[in-house]
Amino acid sequence: AERYGIDEWGAGYFSADKHGHMVVIDPENPDSPRVSLLTVMEGLRERGLEPPVLLRIENILDHRIKVINEAFTRAMKDGGYLNRYRGVFPIKVNQQRHVIEEIARAGSAYNHGFEAGSKAELLIAMASLESHESPIICNGFKDAEFIQLGLYARKLGIDCFFVVENPTEARIIIEQSRALDIKPLIGVRVKLSTRVDGHWQEDSGDRSIFGLSTARLLEVVDLLKEADMLDCLKLLHAHIGSQIPNIMNVRAGVAEACRYYVDLVREGAPMGHMDMGGGLAVDYDGSQSNWTHSMNYKLDEYCADIVDTILEVLNPLDIAHPELITESGRATVAYSSVLLFNILDVTDSNPLPDSSMDAEAPASDSAAADSTESTVSDLNEDPQILRLREVRDSVCPDNLQECFNDANFYREEMRDRFRRGTSTLRAMAMADNTYLQIIERIREELPNVARVPAVLQDLSESTSDIYYGNFSIFQSLPDTWAIEQVFPVLPIHRLNEEPTRTAFIADITCDSDGKIDHFADPSGQSRTLPLHEVRKGEDYFLGVFLVGAYQETLGDLHNLFGDTNVASIRITADGAVQYERELHGDTIADVLSYVEYQPATLLESFRHVAERAVRSGHLTVAERRTIVKSFTESLGGYTYYENI
Ligand code: PLP
C-alpha cells in the first residue's frame, strides 16, 4: 500500500487493511470498522450495478463541508476576526442532484450556500437551499431573466448577490430592480494582477477573461452612484485561480483584493462582504509540494493566511472586518467520489521462448525479390537476428548500457529492412522478441550494478504492459486527457501482494488519447504504474480516486460511451455500509437519443435491413428474428463492456 502513497494523498479517508483491500475510513468514527471497496463493489454487483461505477461516499462529503467551515471559524477566532465565514459551493464543479442535495443538507448547519454561473445553476441553487441564511453568489454573464430570478430570491429573503463582471450588467441590474421594486445585493469582481502558480495561471492577471479592469470598476461605481444605488454595493469578489499549489500566491492575492476593498469603502460603498473565490487545492499526488497537482499548505494554514492577511490590511485603517466568503469547489467534493472499473485485458511485454517463434518462414515475396537486397528465408541465418542473439547471450553487469545500445541498433536495422521490403514479418517478430529478451536480461542484472546508467533508469517505461480498463477517459476522467490531470490510480485489492508488472492504462474508446499514463508517485511523476498479474477467471479492480470535482460535469460521449452507473453509500456509526442511492448509467438507447436517433425509428430501420437480407437469401426468417431480438436487447444495454 505504501508504494501507492495512500497515506499521502488519502487525507485520512482511505487506507489499506490487512487483507490488502483498499478501505474507506468514516472520518467521524475513525476507529469503527473500515469499509472495503471490494466488498462495496460486490454489493453493487448484487444490486445489478456493474462496473464501471462511480461511487460516492456521503460521509466524506459531509466531513469536507464541516472541516472547511470549522477551519475558517477557528482561524477567525484565533486571529480576533470580528465577523463570520459563509462558504458557497460552485455548482459547476459537480451539478449532480444527489451531490447538490447532500451539500445543501450537510451545509445547512453552517449556512453554506451555492455559487451559480448560469440561469440553470441559479434555479438549482434557489430550489435546493435548506437554510434561509445560506447565500447565493451569482457569477458569469447575466441577462434580464437571470437578474429577475436573483431578485426574486432576494424577495424570498435569500442573500443573493449579483457579482458584476461588466458595466452592461450593472445597467440591467439597475433597470430590473427598479422595475420589480426589489433592492439588489451587488458585488464587483476585480481582476487581480497577482499571478498564481499551477495550471490556472490565467484566471488572474491581465490576460484573465474575468473581472473588471480598474477603469470599468470605477464606471460601475459611478453608474451605481448616479442611480442612487451605491448602498447596494456590498461585496468584493476576487478569484485568483483553481488548484492554487503555492500558499504564497494566496497571501498575495488576498492582500491585493483588500486594497480594492479599502478603496471601495472610501468611495462610500457599504461593502461588508469579501468573497475570495475558489482555489483551495487538493493534493492529488500527495507530494505536499507546490507542483501543479499538489499543494504546499494545509487547510488550516490556508484559512489562517486569508484571515490574517485581511486583518493586517484592514486593522491599521480601522475598517470593519467583512463577512468572509469562499467558493471552494474542488476541495469540497473531490475526495468523495471514486471511479471503480475492472481490467478487461492486458498486453504484456513478456518475451516468448525462441521455440514458440520458430515457425517456418515463408519464401520471400516478389517485392523483396525485386529489390537489390535479398530476403533471408531461414531466420536462424538472418544477420540482425544472429547479432541480437549474441547481444542477448552476452548480457552481464559490466556491459548493460552497451547491450542496450546494440539491441536498439540491430532492432532498428531490422525495422529498416522491413520498411524496404528485404525482411519478412516473421523475421521482424523474431527480432522484436529477441529485443524483449535482452531487455528482460538487462532488467534482471540491474540490481547487481552499483550505479544504474541514466538511460536504463526508465527501462520499465519503454517496455511497460498495457492494462485495458472498462471505462472511458472522456466520459469519466476528462481532465486526464484535457490538462494531464494526475489522479491517484491503484488496485482496490491485492495490496498485500508485491505488484510484478509495470503498466499504463488504456480505456475502451478507440482513441489514442484514451489512456492514463501519468501517475502520482511519491518520488515525483511517473509514466507507469506497478500492477499485479491478472489471474485467469478472477476480476482485477482498479479505483481512480479524488474524482468528485469537475469530472462528471465535463465528461462527454466520445465513442458513445455514456454516463456510468453511480451509487452513493453511507457508512453507519458501527461501520456498516448503507446503499443510499443508485443510478443506472445510460443505456445505448439513451446515448443514441442524445445524438438525435430515436431508438424506435432505428429499430424500424434495422427491421427493414434484416428483411432485405431475407429477400436476398442471406438470412432465413428464423435467423432474422434472432438477430432483431439481439438488436432490440442491445438498445436497452449498458454502453460499457458487459459479460453476457
Ligand atoms: N469560483 C469561481 C468564480 C471559479 O471560476 C471557480 C473555478 O475555477 C471556483 C470558484 C472553484 O474553484 P475551486 O474548484 O478551485 O475551488
Instruction: Looking at the structure, tell me whether residues 376 and 326 fall in a common domain.
Output: no
Asked if the structure places residue 105 within a domain, the reply is yes
Q: What is residue 400's predicted lDDT score, i.e. its pLDDT?
A: 94
DSSP state of 20: S
How many A from CA of 261 to the centre of ligand 1?
A: 20
CATH number at residue 420: 1.20.58
Same-domain pairing of 322 and 416:
no
Helix (H, G, I), strand (E, B) or coil at 261: helix
Same domain, 312 and 427: no
Please state the atom number of ligand 1 nearest to the C-alpha of residue 327.
10
Q: Report which ligand 1 atom has the smallest distance to the Cα of 277.
A: 1
Q: Please report whether residue 157 resides in a domain.
A: yes
> How many Å lie between the centroid of ligand 1 and the Cα of residue 355?
60
Q: Which domain covers residue 187, as residue numbers?
A: 59-336
pLDDT < 50 regions, the chain = 366-372
pLDDT the model gives residue 521: 74
The residue from 232, 258, 396, 510 that is catalytic is 510
Ligand 1 centroid to residue 51 C-alpha, Å:
31
Ligand 1 probe mutation, 239, 240, 335, 546, most atoms within 8 A of CB = 239
Respond yes or no on whether the N-terminal peptide bond of residue 397 is cis (omega within 30° of 0): no
Ligand 1 binding site (Cβ under 6 Å of any ligand atom): 90, 93, 115, 139, 239, 242-243, 277-280, 327-331, 549
CATH number at residue 257: 3.20.20.10
Q: Are residues 281 and 374 in the same domain?
A: no
Residue showing cell 447596494: 232
Residue 254: name the closest of 239, 244, 265, 243 by CA: 239
Distance 285 CA to ligand 1 centre (A): 20
Closest listed residue to residue 94, CA positions, set 557, 567, 554, 558? 554
Single out the residue in 303, 336, 369 at which a domain terminates: 336
**Ligand 1 pocket: which of 68, 89, 92, 199 to mutate (most atoms within 8 A of CB):** 92
168 and 267 part of one domain: yes
pLDDT computed for residue 356 by the predictor: 77
Phi, psi of 57 (to 5 degrees): -110, 105
CA of 241 to the centre of ligand 1 (A): 7
**Distance, CA of 259 to CA of 251 (rounded, Å):** 13
What strands, in cross-sheet order, belong to the sheet with 35-36? Answer: 14-16, 22-24, 35-36
Residue that is written with C-alpha cell 491478472 in the block: 534
Task: Decide if 26 is inside a domain.
Answer: no
Residue 64's pLDDT is 98
* Ligand 1 atom at shortest distance from the alpha carbon of 550: 14
Q: Is residue 541 part of a domain?
A: no
- Write the secondary structure of 402-461 as one string of H (helix), E (strand) and C (coil): HHHHHHHHHHHHHHHHHHHCCCCHHHHHHHHHHHHHHHHHHHHHHHHCCCCCHHHHCHHH
Q: Are residues 263 and 399 in the same domain?
A: no
Here the cell at position 182 is 426589489
Q: Name the residue with cell 515457425.
A: 359
**Is the same domain home to 303 and 370?**
no
> How many whole angstroms from 277 Cα to the centroid of ligand 1?
6
Ligand 1 site-directed mutation target among 64, 327, 479, most atoms within 8 Å of CB: 327
Q: How many Å apart are CA 218 and CA 205, to the nearest integer?
A: 18
Say yes or no: 405 and 299 in one domain: no
Same domain, 278 and 410: no
Is 142 contained in some domain?
yes
What is the model's pLDDT at position 201?
Answer: 66
Q: Which of 336, 370, 393 is the last residue of a domain?
A: 336
Q: How many CB atoms lie within 10 A of CB 228?
A: 9
- Domain presence at residue 482: no
Amino acid identity, position 283: D
Q: Give, for ligand 1, the residue of 93, 197, 274 to mutate: max count of ligand atoms closer than 8 Å to Cβ.
A: 93
Instruction: State ipTM.
Output: 0.99
Q: Which atom of ligand 1 is nearest to the CA of 139?
A: 3
Helix ranges restricted to H, 85-163: 97-107, 119-128, 144-155
Residue nearest to atom 12 of ligand 1 (CA): 278
- Amino acid 369: pLDDT: 46
Interatomic CA distance for residues 161 and 136, integer angstroms: 6
Which residues, 6+ apart, have CB-to-CB distance to 455 below 8 Å? 401, 404
Let me know if residue 330 belongs to a domain: yes
Domain tally, the chain: 3
Q: Which three cell numbers stand for residue 403?
A: 547491450
Q: Which atom of ligand 1 lies closest to the CA of 549? A: 14
Is 573 domain-assigned? no
Cα 89 to middle of ligand 1, angstroms: 9
Residues 268 and 371 in one domain: no
CA–CA distance, 385 with 424 (Å, rounded to integer): 12
C-alpha cell at 560: 458513445
How many Å apart are CA 470 and CA 635, to the nearest integer? 19
Please tell me whether residues 144 and 277 are part of one structural domain.
yes
Q: Is residue 9 classed as helix, strand or coil in its secondary structure?
A: helix
My answer on whether 330 and 246 are in the same domain is yes
The identity of residue 111, as a single letter, is N
Is 510 assigned a catalytic role? yes
